[in-house]
Chain A
Amino acid sequence: MSKSNETRYIFSSGELFQKDFSIVLRKDEKNIYLPIKDTRELYCFNDITLSTKMLQLLSKAGIIVHFFGYHGNYIGTFYPKEQLISGRLTVAQALAYKDKRMMIAGAIVKGIARNIYFVLYHYYRHGKNEFKDYLDWLRKDVPNLVDKTNDINQLLRVEGAIWAKFYQSFRTILPESFAMNKRVKRPPDNPINALISFGNSLLYTKVITEIYHTHLDQAISFLHEPAERRFSLSLDLSEVFKPVLVFKTIFDCVNNRKITVEKHFDKKLNYALLNESGRKVFIEAFEERLNQAFEHQTLKRRCSYKHAIRLDGYKLIKFIMEEKSFTPFSLEDKK
């Protein structure tokens, strides 16, 4: 039995059109019906033809479409007309950027450290003693360092240090073929960098979808510079989920040999690009993790990781509007 999903990943080329107020994908002369009421987002990884009529329906139904290029690179998002608009929140969010930026950015950096700590602690408990220094540093020193900084650049340096040390720990966790020397982006140059880039861009789009369903403004971010061109708030909120969703999926796929260098990477490009089957394996594992439920400690009910992203958005709203303290999602506390 396949898992229910409101998300569809389209890997075949075809035509998306609207028929009888619903979505139809025409592929190899065959129609595949996608129920409009049970679709939340679509991911297009191949040549897809769309008409404005289709976009009109998608917009009405509030369905977000993410487009990816031939190499699995993120191109952009069809972002339907915003339905949840709150001028009050937008103003407050902009003011928070001015007055409380350090508080929010600091909370995010602490959140990253906490989640990495918990992810790596699992390996430490199973005999990887070399992590001890790093783990102690994450738990004791990082919160102090963050509290002491009062300048965003200093904070970004702390964040950079956390990630750099985290990437170094891969040498102990992952097999030789996935060795990581340095994080390289645009374009990634080896298998592990390719996996990280692909995973991060998937997570980034997921967060865009979740923020779409809140009143937050996508463009005003706190840790990242609110630049033009990008929805930078989703970069902020995705940060704490990276260790939880992206890296745990990578460790799972690589260590359980679901993804191997020979089979799932493009040989011609020096194994620096996931091929189609590799992408599918990764997406399936990623999606499964997103839909996994855990017992939420404050809500006292089951909640999926996907929903936890949205809850982080709500927490941010609460902080901005009602001064409730903002602590991003923590894997350890499950809240």
Chain B
Amino acid sequence: MKNFNYNYVILFYDVGEKRVTKVFKICKQYLKHYQKSVFRGHITPGNFLELKGKLKKVIDPEYDFITFIQTMSESSFHEESMGNTGIDPESLII
């Protein structure tokens, strides 16, 4: 799976209260806010490195946990959801 061009990422974070806003602020520059601690969206490999670098500086590796799931595009996975998000962060028209 190494030689693929990943262009889409789903990010989950679980960080200490003090660092939540810091992580949130960084993520929202790159990805769309999808759920309380979940971001996702298109990202270029270059921007992905940038994002990881920035996050690395903020988190405490002892306590915090951030995970990225990379896929080729939003069409390469199937998704089911329930309930209502309020605003759709990904719609074309706001």
**A residues at B contact (CB < 8 Å):** 1-12, 20-22, 25, 27, 30, 32-33, 35-38, 280, 283-284, 287
The contact size tier of chain B is 20 to 34
Residue in B31, B32, B79, B92 whose CB lies within 8 Å of A3: B92
Evaluate contact between A284 and B29: CB separation under 8 angstroms: no
Evaluate contact between A33 and B32: CB separation under 8 angstroms: yes
**CB-CB nearest in chain A for B21:** A20
Task: Check A37/B47 contact, CB under 8 A, given A21-B29, A22-B28.
Answer: yes
Evaluate contact between A1 and B74: CB separation under 8 angstroms: yes
Contacts A12-B94, A27-B94, A33-B33 aside, 4 further interface pairs with beta carbons under 8 A come to: A22-B28, A37-B29, A38-B32, A284-B92
The docked-state distance in angstroms from the alpha carbon of A280 to that of B43 is: 26
Residue in A36, A38, A284 whose CB lies within 8 Å of B93: A284
Chain B residues within an 8 Å CB radius of A5: 92
Evaluate contact between A280 and B93: CB separation under 8 angstroms: yes
Task: Check A32/B87 contact, CB under 8 A, given A4-B41, A283-B93.
Answer: yes
Chain A residues within an 8 Å CB radius of B42: 4, 6, 38
Across chains A and B, which 4 residue pairs bring their CB atoms closest together, nearest first? Answer: A20-B25, A2-B90, A22-B29, A33-B28
Task: Check A9/B92 contact, CB under 8 A, given A4-B42, A20-B25, A35-B41.
Answer: yes
Chain B residues within an 8 Å CB radius of A25: 94
Evaluate contact between B89 and A7: CB separation under 8 angstroms: no
**CB-CB nearest in chain B for A10:** B94
Chain A residues within an 8 Å CB radius of B47: 37
Nearest CB of B to A76, in Å: 21
> B12 on the interface (CB 8 Å rule)?
no
> B67 on the interface (CB 8 Å rule)?
no
Chain B residues within an 8 Å CB radius of A33: 28, 32-33, 89
> B88 on the interface (CB 8 Å rule)?
yes
